[in-house]
Structures are given as C-alpha cells and as structure tokens.
Amino acid sequence: MTTGDIILIIIKLAGALAVFLFAMKLMSEGLQKFAGSKLRHILTRITGKPLSGILAGTGVTAIIQSSTATTVMTVGFAGAGLLTLAGAIAVVMGANIGTTVTAWIITIFGLGGGGGEEKVPLMPMIIAAISLFFIFSKKNKMQYLGQTIIGLSLLILGLGLMGDSVPPLDENVAHSIASLGRWGYWSVLLFIVVGAVLCIILQTSSAMTAVILLMASQGWIDFPTSMALVIGQNLGTTLTAQVVAMTTGTTGKRTARAHLVFNVAGAIIFLIPFYPICNAVMAISEQLDSLLPTIPLIPLAITVFHTLFNVVTTVILAFFIPQIVKIVTWMVPEKSEDGEEEFRLTYLEPNLLSTAELNLQSAKSEIEEFSKRVLRMYTFLPGLRTANKDEEFNSIMDRIAKYEGITDRMEMEISKFLTKVGSGDISEHGSERISTMLRIIDNLESIGDTIYQIAMTRKNKREDAVHFDAGLNANLSHMSELVQKSLDVMDSNLHDYDHVDLDAAYAAEHEINVYRDRLRAQHLDALKLGVYDYAIGNAYSSLYALYEKLGDYVINVSEAIDGSRKHAEE
C-alpha cells in the first residue's frame, strides 16, 4: 500500500465521518425541536426518588440523542432549585443509559441491517423518501420530524460510507494490532486510555461508538479490545464535561464531578472481572445472534456490552447516590460569599448546544441567577441607614457599586447570547421567548440601577448631614418591606413561566403605589406646616419615589412572563 493510497483512505474516512457527525447533529436538533418545551416538563416533574430521575434521564437522552444536552438542562434545573443535586445525579445516570440507543441504531441499521448488498444503499433512500411527507408541512412540528428522519437516513448513509472507506485488514497491520493485546490487563488499560483520548478528540461518544463498531466489524480489533475502548469512551465523555463545567457554578461543577465519579466507579466494577464478563457477554450475544442473524456477532456483542456497562453501573450506584453527593460536595465546596460578588456567567455556553429550546433553557437559568444577584443587592440597602461608622457605610456602598457593575455586564452578555440564538433557526415560539427574556433582563438591569440610585441618595444625605426622624425612617422601612415582597413574587415567577402568579404581583405593586400616594400626601402636608426643612423633604421624597419606581420595574418582569405564557397557549 503506497503513501498515496493511505492518504486517500484517510480522506475518504474523514469525509464519511463528517457525514455521520452532520447526520447526528441534524437528527439531534430535529428531535430536540420536535420535543420542544416538553423536555423541560419531563425533567422538572422528577420526584425525589432515584428511579424517576434515572428514567427521565434515559427517556430524554433517547429522544434527543444527546447526553450532553440532557446534562446541561439538568445543571440548569438544579441551579434554579427545580432539582436537588441527588436528583440531578440520577438524571445523569439515566442519560448514560439513553446513549446506548445510538449504539443500537448503528448496529441494527448501519452494520448489517440491510440484509443484502442491494438493500444497504437503498435503505437510507427509503427513509429519506418518508421525510417528504413531513418536510413540506405547514406545521413546524412536522417539519422538525422530517428533519429527524433525514438525519437518520444520512446517519445510515454515513455509516455505509465509513465501512466502504476501510480497506480489508492487512496481514502485517493485523499482526501489529494483535501484538498490543498480549499484555493482559495492561493491554486493557492501554486501550481504555486510547478510547478516552479518541473520544475527547472526536468530542462525541456517538462517533466513537461508530468507530469502535466499524473497526470490530472489519476485523481490526478483537472483542476484548472493543470492550476496553467502550470503557475508555465512557471515561472520555466525562472529561469533556469537566471542561464544560469550568464555566458553570457550584451545582454544575458538582454534577460534572458526579458524572466522572459514576463512570470511574463503573470502569472499576467492570475492569476487575474483565475477562469473565467478556465471556458472559459473548455467550449472551451468541444467543441474540440466532434471533438477529443479519447483524454481525462482534458488533452485536459490543452493543450488548455497552448497554450492560451503563445499565449495571447505574443499577449498582443508584443505591449510593447519597454517598456520591457527599463525595462531590467535598470535591467542590460551596463558594464563599465573596465569590458571589465576582462577575461570572453560570449557565451560558454558546458553543455547547445548538438548538433554540435548550439554549433558551440555559438563558432562563442565567436570568434566574441574575434575579438572585439583584435580590442580594437589595438586601444591602438597610445597612446604609444603620451604619454608624464611615468605614462601614463606604464598605456597603462599594459592594452595591460592584453589584451594579455586575448587573450591567450580565444584561449585556445575556442580550448578546439571546441575539445570537435568535439569529439562527428558531421557531415562532422561541422568538417570542427571546423577546420576553430581553424585556426581563432590561428591567432587571433597571432594578439594579434604581437600587444604586437609592444608595447614592443615602450617600448624598449622609454627606450633607441630613437626618430623618424616627417616623420618616419607619415609613421608608415599611416601603422597603413592600418592595421586598414584590421582588420575592417576581423571583418566584421567574422560576416557572407556565405558572406565573400575576395576581400576587399586581397585589404587591398596588400596595406599593397606595403607600407611595399616602407618603406623598403626608409629605406635602409636612412641607406646608414646616415640619422639616427642604433638604430633609427632598431626600425623603426622592427615596420613596425611587422605591416606587423600583416596584414598576419589578411588575414589568412578571407582566413580560405572563405575556409569553399567553402567547404560548395561543
């Protein structure tokens, strides 16, 4: 074989792999769009029992063909308080089982499922023809289903091209590969490392599964080597997750660490009795092969092992979820209060997901984090009134100023992210949600600005030696409590767009307006009677007006959420 032949083989194989990866992306995107917001409902209705989380993770991953997407959604829900860490770990366990569906699709449809030489190229054409009934539909859902079907046809075509690109095994090459397996468990460990590295390079376990099945079907690797590569592939996916988790908060990092702990434990469980398991899987596969004669034995055995590895590991470790929670909590300790005062986007990773529904879920989680920052910023205000020493007062002012800068940057970064998502392929519902989110973050940023204005008014009052009596302080304190109540309602509404409590939001805002009107009337009477001078009156009226202004921005957020909900229902 000449150098030119080798280069040609590599080019063909790379092109076939590109078709396969594009097909997986197309099919995954179509499934995610077709499933829509139902994915969110499935995960957010998980109970505290591990079984419900495992089943949900398995089902969602099997539907959208992306364990990474499932994991990211899970991190977002856990960070938003909709899932406990234990529930998130259960979902990630289930996502591992869901990835086995891809292996079965490849094995059944791509490696011998045709049953004959003529049927292999014909099958993807038949599947693609079926999509014609859907892609020209006026309904978006049917178009997404058509996209999924086309993706499946291209996936099968890509697998066929990959098989045609690999030449018959050269005798010298076969001898070289076989020599690597002569070292017993050391060879197994070597191929586990190789599998992990290749999975990291390919950045997708689905492509790695296809490569393993292809090499095995062509005789390039034996069954024990294939098993070692599968174990390595599972470890490789966790390493990719660790890189992604670097941009997330505490819950995201803990979930990623749990994924790592889970797969490392699974590797150890299967590595110790490796060869007995190898023999047992082959015996099971030989029995299945009699029922599925069109599927080659070795690819079938690999798929059985891939399924067995994830299912058995999940069943065993599901009983140890509390212990895994303790381990990852120790590995990723709770961030300090000072850490919360640094600018950091927790959930947005523009290059991680490709579909609007899941990108918007990440944005929603980030907006909830934005709200959390704003509410924390608001809690600093009472300290400005009670601070006795200038050092204490200035320290609080610095924290408020820092948070104001954070809210400005969060608003800018989330806006850029949403704009980027909106410029892609997005449904009408998705476009409406983006408009809603842009309105929400604009008002959240305005809340941050208003809190800063209240703080600056307090600062100017202190510098000008303006003092309020007990009555004025009590009035402002009550106004502050009413606004806090309104903020709490807003924050609650941000967690569940489908069940926004607009009545509670309007009631809280009404209380603010009524009390503002009362304070304004009393203030005008006090000025006429000369109860306090102009400097006191000016500072006092500025403060209660700013609190009322803040309440207006708060109600705007709930109104935006309610408008999005009504549009979705229509």
CA distance 157 to 149: 12
Between CA 494 and CA 165 the distance in angstroms is: 52
What is residue 204's three-state secondary structure?
coil
CA 548, CA 486: separation in Å to the nearest integer?
11
Distances from the Cα of 436 to the Cα of 72, 431, 552, angstroms? 22, 9, 17
pLDDT tens figures, 331-378: 888 765 444 555 566 666 544 444 566 677 778 878 988 999 999 999
Q: Describe the crossing of helices 470-495 and 356-378 by its angle, rounded to 10 degrees.
A: 170
Provide the pLDDT for residue 113.
Answer: 40
| pLDDT tens digits for range 375-426 | 999 999 999 988 889 999 999 999 999 999 999 999 998 998 888 888 776 7
Gap between the Cα atoms of 242 and 233, Å rounded: 15
**Residue 100 predicted with pLDDT over 70:** yes
Does residue 159 sit in helix, strand or coil? helix
> Quick one: tokens of 103?
């292996």
307: buried, middle or exposed (CB in 10 Å: 19+, 13-18, 0-12)?
middle
Fill in the amino acid letter for 230.
V
Q: Which residue has the tokens 């850490």?
A: 339
Residue the block writes with tokens 């059985």? 304
Question: What is the Rg, in whole angstroms, of the alpha carbon atoms belonging to the chain?
Answer: 30
Find the mean pLDDT for residues 295-315. Answer: 88
Does the structure show a pLDDT above 70 at 558?
yes
Packing angle of the helix pair 85-98, 67-79 (nearest 10 deg): 170
Can you read off the two tokens belonging to residue 85? 């860490």
Report the SS3 class of residue 66.
Answer: coil
Res. 542: pLDDT tops 90:
yes
Q: Which pLDDT value is given to residue 275?
A: 87
Predicted pLDDT at 57: 82
CA distance 542 to 548: 10
The terminus-to-terminus CA distance of the chain in angstroms comes to 65
Question: 338 or 545: whose pLDDT is higher?
Answer: 545
Burial of 272 (0-12, 13-18, 19+ CB in 10 A): exposed
Residue of 558, 547, 550, 553 whose CA lies nearest to 519? 547
Domain ranges of the chain: 171-334, 338-569
Which of 239, 215, 218 lies closest to 228, judged by CA? Answer: 215
Residues in the chain: 570
* DSSP conformational letter for 109: I
Q: ∠ CA 51-55-59 to the nearest 5 degrees?
A: 175
**Residue range 459-471, pLDDT digits in tens:** 999 999 999 999 9
Is the pLDDT at 119 greater than 60, yes or no?
Answer: no
| Closest to 210 in 3D by CA, of 8, 11, 5, 19 | 19
- Please say if the pLDDT value at position 239 is more than 80: no
pLDDT at 6 over 80: no
Tokens read off for 530? 């000369």
Q: What percent of the chain has pLDDT over 70?
A: 76
22 pLDDT band, cuts 50/70/90, is confident
- Give residue 380's pLDDT: 94
Name the band, by pLDDT with cuts 50, 70 and 90, for residue 498. confident
pLDDT at 162 exceeding the cut of 90: no
- Minimum mean pLDDT among 2-16, 25-39, 258-272, 466-480: which range? 25-39
Give the residue, 111 or 475, on which the prediction is more confident. Answer: 475
Largest CA distance in the chain: 106
Provide mean pLDDT across the span 528-536: 89
Place of tokens 């791509």: 110
Q: Please check whether residue 494 is in contact with residue 527, taking contact to mean a CB–CB distance below 8 angstroms.
A: no
- Among candidates 64, 120, 67, 55, which has minimal Cα distance to 306? 67
**What is the structure's pLDDT at 556?**
94
User: What gap in Å lies between CA 311 and CA 318, rounded to an integer?
Assistant: 10
User: What pLDDT is attached to residue 431?
Assistant: 82
Per mean pLDDT, which range of 240-254, 430-444, 511-525 is the poorest? Answer: 240-254
- What average pLDDT score do residues 499-524 get? 92
- The dotted CATH code for 338-569 is 1.20.58.220
Assessment of whether the complete model's pTM goes beyond 0.85: no
CA distances from 460 to 389, 391, 453, 455, 527 (A): 15, 16, 10, 9, 21
Question: Among candidates 432, 435, 422, 430, which has minimal Cα distance to 567?
Answer: 432
Q: Is residue 202 very low, low, confident or very high in pLDDT (cuts 50, 70, 90)?
A: low
CA-nearest of 330, 328, 364 to 346 is 364
Which whole number is the average pLDDT over 27-33?
A: 68
Question: Smallest Cα–Cα separation from 219: which of 180, 174, 282?
Answer: 174
**Hey, is 82 helix, strand or coil?**
coil
Looking at per-residue pLDDT, the higher value among 299 and 20 belongs to 299
pLDDT band at 497 (very low <50, low <70, confident <90, very high): confident
Q: How far is the CA of 328 from the CAs of 79, 247, 323, in angstroms?
A: 15, 17, 9
CB 150 within 8 A of CB 31: no
Instruction: Provide, for the chain, the percentages of residues in helix, strand and coil under a 3-state DSSP scheme, each rounded to the nearest 5.
Output: 80, 0, 20
Which one has a higher pLDDT value, 312 or 176? Answer: 312
Q: Mean pLDDT throughout 322-327? A: 91
| Residues 6+ positions from 135 with CB-CB distance below 8 Å | 142, 143, 146, 147, 150
* SS3 letters across 125-158: HHHHHHCHHHHCCCCHHHHHHHHHHHHHHHHHHH
**For residue 351, what are its two tokens?**
């290059």
CB distance 166 to 144 below 8 Å: no
